[in-house]
Structure 1
Amino acid sequence: MHATKTVPALLALSALAACATPAPVSTSVADAGAPAPVANYDWHLHQEPGEDTLAYGLANSDELKLQLVCRTGSGRLELGAIADKPMRELYLESGGDTERYPARSEAAGINDGEYVSADAQTKDPVFQRFRRLGWIAAWQGDDRETYAAHPASKPDIERFFAACG
């Protein structure tokens, strides 16, 4: 084979080899589709003797998206959310785990809309995934709202679940 024919053949093989090389796989949670935290909204932990509350919303306001309340050590949760209209269930998702909880609705009182509540267990897969990932999403019909922790509040999520049992 002549040198003039060898160089184009090698270039063609190199180009094919480059196309066949798999792209690097990212193992970062952020790159895996985790939602980003929203400015001014975050998870807030409030602990009193016998009761722990983890709420997502604006600090020092009535702007509440989702809250989890437990009796310390009980493993049981009372969920609360503000919705536009009455809902029969709270539909939650975190990292691929989903759960639907039968819900009760009543007028919110502090703002327009409904206060929706439901009962759950800390051991439910959706909450264990939330505990690991630091985000959870709530569905209202076809609308999905994600509630992602800022880095500084992620330890509060673990503190909450550790206290609740």
Structure 2
Amino acid sequence: MRTLLSVIAAASFVIGCQPAGQTAAGEAPATDNGPPASEVAGTIPTDATTYPEGEPRWMLSEDGAEQFLAFAVPETDDVRLLMSCAEGARSVRLWRTTWEGDTPDFIFSSGTAEGTFSGVEIPEGMEPQLESAASTSEPVLVAFRTTGQLLMTVGGEAHDVSAAPGALPLVNAFFEHCGS
């Protein structure tokens, strides 16, 4: 149940978030003379990349001592991959929806690094979900943090969930929070 609540909290974040660097009307926000948010201690970095509307991207949020890194379409419930961790945990929880003909595994590759993490199907929620956990020291997660490149194989089909260069600070901040 706790995991389901975490997923709901993350999905609420995704549904209500604005693409970094844009206002609700899609215009650039007014700037002040203060330091960028990513340079202020305790703040979440932003991604200044311009994405086409409806395109998924990496987004970072926090809830207390827990952070969520989601590959999702902003302002929708389309969450393709969610990672979460408590501060200093040195492990991440993985979550995604399951697809027909899917295996209950998280299969990732980043460069030459590969990792498969057995998942547990959770029938709760609007659609079946798959959960797992992985150490932040897993080579595929270290490679993802370093390069931003990540492929996720679902139902035998590879899906590119790589981070744009502007999103790499989000990925790094997440893994730093996790204590990797």
How many aligned residue pairs are there? 127
TM-score (norm 1): 0.70
> Where does structure 1 lack aligned partners over 5 or more consecutive residues?
1-36
Distance 1:49 1:140 in 2: 31
Structure 2 unaligned blocks of 5 or more: 1-49
Query: What is aligned with 2:116?
Result: 100
Question: 2:99: which partner in 1?
Answer: 84
Query: Secondary structure of 2:137's match?
Result: coil
Q: Mark the structure with the bigger radius of gyration.
A: 1
For residues 36-75 of structure 1, the aligned pairs below 5 Å read 39=52, 40-75=55-90
Q: Give % identity.
A: 22
Under a length normalisation based on structure 2, what TM-score does the superposition of the two structures give?
A: 0.65
* Alpha-carbon distance between aligned partners in 2 of 1:108 and 1:98, rounded to the nearest angstrom: 29
Q: Give the 5 Å matches for 1:3-18.
A: none
Which runs of at least 4 in structure 1 moved beyond 3 Å after TM superposition? none
**Deviations along 1:20-61, whole A, 9 cap, x unmatched?**
xxxxxxxxxxxxxxxxx9842110001232101100010122
| Residue in 2 that maps onto 1:142 | 156
Instruction: Looking at secondary structure, tell me which structure has more strand per residue.
Output: 1
Please say if residues 82 and 108 of structure 1, whose CA atoms lie closer than 8 Å, have aligned partners that are also in contact.
no
Q: How many Å apart are 1:140 and its aligned residue?
A: 1.8
Matched, 1:119 2:149: no
